[in-house]
Amino acid sequence: MKALILVGGFGTRLRPLTLSVPKPLVDFANKPMILHQIEALKAIGVDEVVLAINYQPEVMLNFLKEYEAKLGIKITCSQETEPLGTAGPLALARDKLLDGSGEPFFVLNSDVISEYPLKEMVEFHKSHGGEASIMVTKVDEPSKYGVVVTEEATGKVEKFVEKPKLFVGNKINAGIYLLSPSVLDRIELRPTSIEKEVFPKIAAEQKLFAMVLPGFWMDIGQPRDYITGLRLYLDSLKKKSSSKLATGPHIVGNVIVDETAKIGEGCLIGPDVAIGPGCIVESGVRLSRCTVMRGVRIKKHACISSSIIGWHSTVGQWARVENMTILGEDVHVCDEIYSNGGVVLPHKEIKSSIWKPEIVM
Amino acid sequence: MGIAEERVVAVIMVGGPTKGTRFRPLSLNIPKPLFPLAGQPMVHHPISACKRIPNLAQIYLIGFYEERDFALYTSSISNELKVPVRYLKEDKPHGSAGGVYNFRDLIMEENTSHIFLLNCDVCCSFPLPEMLDAHKKYGGMGTILVVKVSAETAHEFGELVADPITNELLHYTEKPETFVSDRINCGVYIFTPDVFTAIQGVSSQRKDRANLRRVSSFEAMQPDTRSLPSDFVRLDQDILSPLAGKKQLYVYETKDFWEQIKTPGMSLKCSSLYLAQFRHTSPHLLAKGDGTSGASISGDVYIHPSAKVHPSAKVGPNVSISANARVGAGARLISCIILDGVEIKENAVVIHAIVGWKSSIGKWARVQASGDYNAKLGVTILGESVTVEDEVVVVNSIVLPHKTLNVNVQDEILL
């Protein structure tokens, strides 16, 4: 089986992290976002992943070479020279996706994190016999999204309603599709939207079916959702394989700590914290609801909550970092500094407190 | 009696409970003059400066507070100084000069040759012996301590002009609307007993005028023209202004620090000035430590002997910690006043703040401000028995007594 991952552009919503690496390589729960998807695909027997990308393909491929060997999966790139929307990239990658086997292929949106029940999706696709399957997820506020209206018993999609003002349903497109090769015949090589132009036609022919995604779903394309997404991910990890979570008297709630990270005495870590490889957390540190990326040093008595600490940054002694503070790569917060929602671009030294949420260029 | 038999009396004006409203919420719990700066009551700093006056016979504190408020302090300080310190309560407001005049018999009881008059709410090095020498040299009735300030701030004080050669006071005006001079009145004076004659003169003039006015009942009913009570005499407007340029008043200029202590924020600044002064005057009061046996100390720090500070905490600069306070492991204190019985828990941070009596700061909590002493919320103030729960952040805020904070606050006054 094959899969296409829609990687897209600059990832501006996840800046300043995406100033250092393409968005799919931004770490989430101690591994690059895209690896969550590639590993899930590999697990159900996908042997080739095509990345639809229009920015820094070399960086992506260099990085993913390592994982090609490690996971035993072929990773190639399909580069857009102009943005092709959500359907155009499928036409561009047509030759890579068609192998004559007639098997359906996956299309995944790289911003989305979920439990990836791909095996169930393959079964669902076989059972309904239609041309395309899409995963839908229930949300509290459907008016913000494109709502998928389905026939309750079969899951057959009746229509798509973009940002409905009146309630028509609470299931939205989760950005995970399983498509039969014939779908490719419906897509022209031009900028086009799969949700607005391709799926409505298939639905009109009664060949589009939706499966409700069990478990959590989160678009982690921006910092606030990234932090919420980590909580949902760790909740799910606890249920599935709780041995991956850290334990000990200094841990509260769900926490993952890379085995190469070091944690000092008298710390209190959690809930909902990810500490990446090579991190040093000195004594007396408090961490909650935050991501600490590879190579970060948190000095003594610092306190961090609801924040993302980018690669190789340092947080000084008695510093306080909170309220959606996002530190880009190699940022140094000096001793005793307070950051309330500071968004800091890479390679900066923060010598005076950030009292109110602001961007530090 | 020979000339050698000089007897000096010092009078410190301490004000009253209705006066220090700008010092709230701290003055809700303690008379402002007893609020600790550098670990010592505010009034202690002028009092200990009086120790250096030769032939000091007596110190009087004059104010509107109840006698019992000062009883404990005056008895202990009298013993310590070996000079009687006595609190005198004014029955009603007499004005700054009238208040002293009201107690003239007590003040003159010692066959007094010179009277120092000090305001309690100023913070300076109180160069009193130097003023006394200058005063004797000038030979006037009074000498005023003055300091040079910026032209922008001078209008908040009594501005004055003095002869640069003779140091005679030529002109005095209280809080003028336009700029007169960048030299201001520090609120510290020395007088010969003749000052009582001058005050009496103002008082009897008032009486005469009041008698005249009685003729016109219409005028007496107008609030604007209603005259002050005859025994109400202000030092600045009624004595200094009229006597300027009459070869009776002189000035002595200090080059040292000088500040007025009106607000809690300023008390933190003044605490730092007094701590710095301790390096010369009372080095034994400054804490020392490098984190091996006691806490690491940085800069000027006062720690009361009964306070307990964990060796892994770091304290200073400009910190004073009062009696029975406890500072936990890994706590960090910078530029703050920690009052009696406060508990600072593990890894908490306090910066530019005053933490009220018996308050509690939770683990990894943070109590901080910008440190702008003149801004209304430039120093975070916690009143008595305020609880800041674990990990809560309090920034640029004033919290009245007995509040519990379990969510972050910024730029707020919490009643």
Q: Is B329 on the interface with A (CB under 8 A)?
A: yes
| Closest Cβ–Cβ partner in B332, B391, B395 for A286 | B391
Q: Residue B125, Cβ neighbours under 10 Å: how many?
A: 18
How far is Cα A337 from Cα A351, in angstroms, rounded to an integer?
7
- Name the token pair of A310: 């980018």
The three-state DSSP-derived secondary structure of B49-111 is: HHCCCCCEEEEEEEECCCHHHHHHHHHHHHHHHCCCEEEEECCCCCHHHHHHHHCHHHHHCCC
By C-alpha distance, the chain A residue nearest B369 is A355
Looking at residue B2, its pLDDT comes to: 43
Query: Taking CA atoms, what residue in A is nearest to B395?
Result: A355
pLDDT over threshold 70, residue A225: yes
Structure tokens at B369: 């401000």
3 state SS of A200: helix
Residue carrying structure tokens 């005050």: B199
Chain A residues with CB-CB distance to B352 below 8 A: none
Decide if B391 contacts A269 (C-beta within 8 A): no
* Nearest-by-Cβ selection for A336 from B330, B349, B364: B349
Which residue type sits at B144?
A: I
- Residue B122 CB coordination number (10 Å): 22
Q: Side chain identity at A283, as an amino acid letter?
A: S
pLDDT of residue B20: 64
Mean pLDDT within A159-165: 84
Checking ipTM against 0.90, whether it exceeds it is: no
pLDDT tens column, B158-187 = 999 999 999 999 999 888 888 889 999 999
Q: What percent of chain A has pLDDT over 70?
A: 99
pLDDT of residue A336: 96
Q: In a mutagenesis test of the B interface, which of A318, A336, A353 is the best target, namely the one with the most B β-carbons within 10 Å?
A: A318
Q: Is B221 left (phi over 0), alpha (psi -120 to 50) or beta?
A: alpha
User: In angstroms, rounded to a whole number, what is the distance separating the alpha carbons of residues A26 and A10?
Assistant: 12
Q: What is the pLDDT of residues B182-215, one digit of tens each?
A: 999 999 999 999 999 989 888 888 777 777 655 5
What's the pLDDT band for B53 if we cut at 50, 70, 90? very high
Is the model's pLDDT at B379 over the cut of 80? yes
Highest mean pLDDT among A108-112, A185-189, A263-267: A263-267
Give yes or no for residue B8 having a pLDDT over 80: yes
Shortest CB distance from A300 goes to which of B330, B363, B368?
Answer: B330
Largest CA distance in chain A: 64
Residue A171 has pLDDT above 80, yes or no: yes
Contact in structure between A179 and A192 (CB atoms under 8 Å): no
Helix, strand, or coil (residue A336): coil
CB < 8 Å to A317, chain B:
332
**pLDDT for B385-395, tens place per residue?**
999 999 999 99
